[in-house]
Chains A and B, each alone.
Chain A
Amino acid sequence: MTNGHPNSQTNGSSAIPRDPDFYAGYSRFEIELEFVQSLSNPQYLNYLASQKYFESAEFVAYIDYLQYFREPKYLKYLQYPGPTLRVLELLQEERFRRDILIPAVAEAMVAEGFEAATRGVEG
């Protein structure tokens, strides 16, 4: 693994231009896919709120950008489609971004999500 200097080639620039969408061995799509699905975990959202991420307008705009996952051609890559899309919707509201900081709200969301996913399932 190279240390320190990025792109340390001994002979000037390489013939292949650096791919901006490749990061740490993963493509940008893979990383965004992973992130958007992790958002569906309410405890993770609670953690993000506690780290004050939701107070950054840039971050909020990024989450809005992630709405592209609603389109069928990207939707088909989601393994947790229901909770993910629901969370994307909820995160658009400022009230939610503030409330998810409260642990009780996160707990309630866990219970509701579990209930919604298992509704109608017989034991």
Chain B
Amino acid sequence: MLSQLQASYQRVEQSLQRLTDSIASYNPSVHDADELVAADEAVNRDLDRLVVHQANHIRIQQLRQDNEARDERIRANIKLLADTRKEIAAIPSSASEGESRQEVRVDELLAYARFISRTTVPPTFRKKDIPALPKKEAAAAEIANGIATPPANAQEEDNEPYVRIENVGTKAMSEKQKQMLQPDLPWVPWPEPSLIVSGALAEIQKLVESGQDPASVLTAEEKAEKDKMKGEEEAREKLAQEEAEKRRMSMFDTGAMRRQTYSDVFDPDNE
């Protein structure tokens, strides 16, 4: 570009020079004037081309910059990917024996979740309604010293509220004393005493207390077998009874038999 411009400038200069020379030598040459005009136009054209050239140059630079920016981004992404993959591979698998790594099926999990939901926090539970339970850190600290201390503490608390109640009422009860009564937890994550009492262990307890041996309660199978045996037993007894009856009847002659057919009751006087 530069050399082209230079060439056209030189052309202009040359033709100008020739023209001025010819004018100076009183021999104006029209040809040279035309030459100058043409050279001038050539320069203008070149200048336009220069403008375009610059614009292109700038655009090329921009594109190069763009390119590099994208290249940089791609490089960063690939690096991130590689790092993430390394991280994932580096996650230590839990130290487990072969059998504890079982695949848990989703439906099993969901069924268990439903099973547990009955004994988990109820949806109507509002935590902020519960007065904050003060942590018994004092008691824990005392336990470190010896078992004797906490009971002494408890006794102190027993005395205090009694004194207060005389004057004021339950509202004056110390916070700790109220907590001892503990009526205010709406729900606990373990079976309540009422539930325990209605269970199998309690039933066994009742059996034991009433003197019956729980081991004597029969399974359904055993019951069925027992009934069957009883049935057989009864059938056998009935059979034996009938045979005894027949024998009895055949022992006597027909005259007495008629009377005896009507009355089955054993009458020693009429033997």
Interface residues of A (CB under 8 A from B): 1-3, 5-7, 9-11, 14-16, 18-19, 22-26, 30-31, 34-35, 37-38, 40-44, 72, 76, 79-84, 98-99, 101-105, 107-108, 110-111, 113-118, 121-123
Contacts of A22 in B (CB 8 A): 217, 219
Give A121 to B189 CA distance when docked, in angstroms: 14
Q: How far is the CB of A36 from chain B (nearest CB, A)?
A: 11
User: Once the chains bind, are A38 and B133 in contact (CB under 8 Å)?
Assistant: no
Output the nearest chain A residue to B233 by Cβ-Cβ distance: A10
Chain A to chain B contacts (Cβ below 8 Å), 28 pairs = A9-B226, A11-B229, A14-B222, A14-B226, A23-B204, A24-B203, A24-B207, A24-B217, A25-B217, A31-B200, A37-B191, A38-B191, A40-B191, A41-B193, A43-B193, A44-B193, A80-B190, A103-B180, A105-B143, A105-B150, A107-B136, A113-B188, A113-B189, A114-B133, A114-B188, A114-B189, A115-B133, A123-B125
Residues in B whose Cβ lies below 8 Å from that of A104: 136, 139, 150, 153-154
Chain B: how many interface residues by the 8 Å CB criterion?
56
Q: How far is the CB of B156 from chain A (nearest CB, A)?
A: 12
Inter-chain pairs besides A6-B216, A26-B204, A118-B127, 9 sampled, C-beta below 8 Å: A3-B212, A19-B219, A31-B201, A38-B201, A72-B102, A76-B115, A110-B182, A121-B127, A123-B126
Residues of chain B contacted by A80 (CB below 8 angstroms)? 119, 189-191
Q: Can you name the residue of chain B whose Cβ is closest to the Cβ of A122?
A: B127
B147 in complex: contacting residue of A3, A18, A102, A108, CB < 8 Å: A102
Give B residues with C-beta under 8 Å from A.
100, 102, 108, 112, 115-116, 118-121, 125-129, 133, 135-136, 139-140, 143, 147, 150-151, 153-154, 179-180, 182, 185, 188-193, 196, 199-201, 203-204, 207, 212-217, 219, 221-222, 225-226, 229, 233
